[in-house]
Amino acid sequence: MRTSTSLLLGGVALLAALPALLTAGLLNAAVQMLIAALFASAYGQLAGRAGMLSFGHAAYFGVGAFATVHAMDALNGAGLLPTPLMPLVGAAAGLGFGVVAGWFATQRSGTAFAMITLAIAELLHALAPQLKSLFGGESGISVMRTPAWGFNFGSTTQVYYLTLVWVLLSLALLYFHTRTSAGRLTLGLRENSHRLRFLGYDVHRLGVSAFAISGLFSGVAGALQVLANESANYVVFEAHVSASVVLNSYIGGVGVFLGPALGAALMSFFGYAVSDATQAWLLYQGVLFVLVMMFMPEGLVGLGGAAARRVKQLGASRAPPLLLLWLLAVLLLAAGAVFLVELLQRLCSQDYRALARAAAGWPPVTMFGQSWAAVGLATWIWPLGLLAGGGSLLAFAQRRLQMKEAQA
């Protein structure tokens, strides 16, 4: 318990120190990471703890965002709700919409629930472009952050601290919720709802409340995004927003409280870092998700535990070489896959096809700052060699592991 507390304090201190360490561009990315982390935590509260898979969580994020944008526009920082308190509007909107949508969605459980949440989000997505006065049409709605409490919110640093305070507060509240009896009942909902009903609880009401709480914090995340971007557009209702929160949360691991947040922060950081270098980032994200689902059901946060178990099982002297071997194999495979995808992406792009048609041949492509012949062993041997090498290394490591397990 003590190590985890000091880890937590260290993490918060690091987050508080970030503006001094990062450039403005990176700090903006950090704001987006924090927002994604909060959104994923709100999602994880529903998917991980209550066991309800929602595929349309963009709806609550978007409703929170639009409520905030309208509130900022109408109040203009005056009255009871100055700029720093604006996320309360998002929270209220997310909660309200969460109660309504949750009432419908929790009529059914399991797979039907998943489909209903998806359909509710698509309903909003189909409706939003039609209601121009509410959702601003193609161009969206822009607002200004009005100064309040002695801050002008003109610099990224101030926006960062505002976001950080709200994200930490929300995470603390979410964590507090898991310790209350209501939070415990949510867990019971996932494990055995029949038994809960038998014990006299209103299962539907419990489901709606879990759903609404998740909607509330999604709404806060949406509001924070509006505060950060000073605008809202109906693209927040698009399916890829819902999809990415599902992918991020499960890549991180929904079984642990901070798992979804870490997953989302990691993925949005990578998304920011590689968005210039590759056009296939979403593909990598999807592949990573499927790999996690197939081989690491606990998510990336489970990796440390798995490594620790191996060390314990095989002994401190014999485990590290094997883990290193395994790591090397994974890196080789990843490098091979990335090479192949990037090469294919360039060969299939419109520009290249036009070039190939004009040249009536296969001109070379530029990749990783180098020119590669499109046809030729010298190019294709790289991805194939990397994949084959990684694959055989992985098989070798696996065999060694089995041998050592047999010995142990």
Residues near another protein (CB under 8 A): 51, 53, 55, 104, 107-108, 110-112, 114-116, 118-120, 122-123, 126-127, 130-131, 133-134, 239, 243, 246-247, 250, 279-280, 282-283, 285-287, 289-290, 293-294, 297, 341, 344-345, 348-350
* CA-based torsion, 234, 237, 238, 244: positive or negative: positive
What is the SS3 string spanning the chain?
CHHHHHHHHHHHHHHHHHHHHCCHHHHHHHHHHHHHHHHHHHHHHHHHHCCCCCCCCHHHHHHHHHHHHHHHHHHCCCCCCCHHHCHHHHHHHHHHHHHHHHHHHCCCCHHHHHHHHHHHHHHHHHHCCCCHHHHCHHHCEECCCCCECCECCCCHHHHHHHHHHHHHHHHHHHHHHHHCHHHHHHHHHHHCHHHHHHCCCCHHHHHHHHHHHHHHHHHHHHHHHHHHHCEECHHHHCHHHHHHHHHHHHHHCCCCCCHHHHHHHHHHHHHHHHCCCCCCHHHHHHHHHHHHHHHCCCCCHHHHHHHHHHHHHHCCCCHHHHHHHHHHHHHHHHHHHHHHHHHHHHHHCHHHHHHHHHHCCCCCEEECCEEECCCCHHHHHHHHHHHHHHHHHHHHHHHHHHHHHHHC
Distance separating alpha carbons of residues 102 and 310, to the nearest angstrom: 42
Q: Smaller CB distance to another protein: residue 254 or 401?
A: 254
| Number of residues that make up the chain | 408
Q: Which is nearer to another protein, 34 or 251 (CB)?
A: 251
Query: Nearest distance from residue 318's CB to another protein, in Å?
Result: 28
The CB-of-367 to another protein minimum distance in angstroms stands at 14
| Residue among 317 and 350 whose Cβ is closer to another protein | 350
Residue 251: CB minimum distance to another protein, A? 10
CB of 253 vs another protein, minimal distance in Å: 13
**Residue 9 vs 293, nearer CB to another protein:** 293
**Nearer Cβ to another protein, position 77 or 102?**
102
CB 65, min distance to another protein, A: 19
Give the residue from 313, 234, 239, 314 showing the smallest Cα distance to 282.
Answer: 239
Closer residue to another protein in complex, CB, 83/379: 379
Q: How far is the CB of 312 from another protein (least distance, A)?
A: 24
The residue (of 22 and 123) whose beta carbon lies closer to another protein is: 123
Closest approach, Cβ 133 to another protein, in A, equals 6
Tokens describing residue 166: 């709200």
| Least Å from the CB of residue 110 to another protein | 7
Closer CB to another protein, 34 or 247, in the complex: 247
Q: Closer to another protein by CB, 153 or 289: give it.
A: 289
* Minimum distance of another protein from residue 14's CB (angstroms): 32
CB of 350 to another protein, least distance (A): 6
d(CA 92, CA 82): 16
* Paired sense of beta strands 231-232 and 141-142, if any: antiparallel
- Residue with smaller CB distance to another protein, 22 or 115: 115
